[in-house]
Amino acid sequence: MIDVGQTAPDFEAESSIGKIKLSELKGKKVIYFYPKSFTPGCTREIQRFVELYDQFVANGALVLGISVDSVETQKRFSEKYNAKFPVISDKEKKISSAYGVLNEKGTSAQRVTFIVDERGVVKAVLKNLKRAEDHADRALEEVKK
């Protein structure tokens, strides 16, 4: 897993809003990986990121959600919960592999959130939180620092 002080791996992928290339996005980034769209924990997590979205933007941060689900699933997930941010499909598991967040079986991403500064350097890594939705609150705290 990449860690604090390392450069966040660049990627280009399809998302709920079209093709995204990390290196072309300006500002701070909150890149959160989650296991599977529409599951209870992942649903609570996206809902909390949606609730806090305006505060992320006010603090100069972009939010990016990533799972190994298909683009079609990501679009439905994003639409159902009114996500104003890209929900990215990592169907080939290349992004999850680059960040070191694939689960032990290699079937899905672990729930891990990376806070990346304006230069593309990882500033914080959030993992092993008790509740999925806590990722959004903790990520916002890190963005405000």
pLDDT, average across residues 13-40: 96
Q: For the chain, which residues make up each domain, given as ranges?
A: 12-144
What is the pTM assigned to this prediction?
A: 0.96
Where are the extended beta strands (E) located within the chain?
12-15, 18-21, 28-33, 61-67, 87-89, 112-116, 122-127
**Catalytic residue list:** 42
pLDDT, average across residues 51-60: 98
Q: What is the pLDDT of residues 106-116, one digit of tens each?
A: 999 999 999 99
pLDDT band at 61 (very low <50, low <70, confident <90, very high): very high
What average pLDDT does the structure give for the chain? 96
Query: What pLDDT score was predicted for residue 122?
Result: 97
Query: What pLDDT score was predicted for residue 93?
Result: 97
From the candidate CATH numbers 3.40.30.10, 3.10.28.10, 3.30.110.70, 3.40.50.920, the one assigned to the domain spanning 12-144: 3.40.30.10
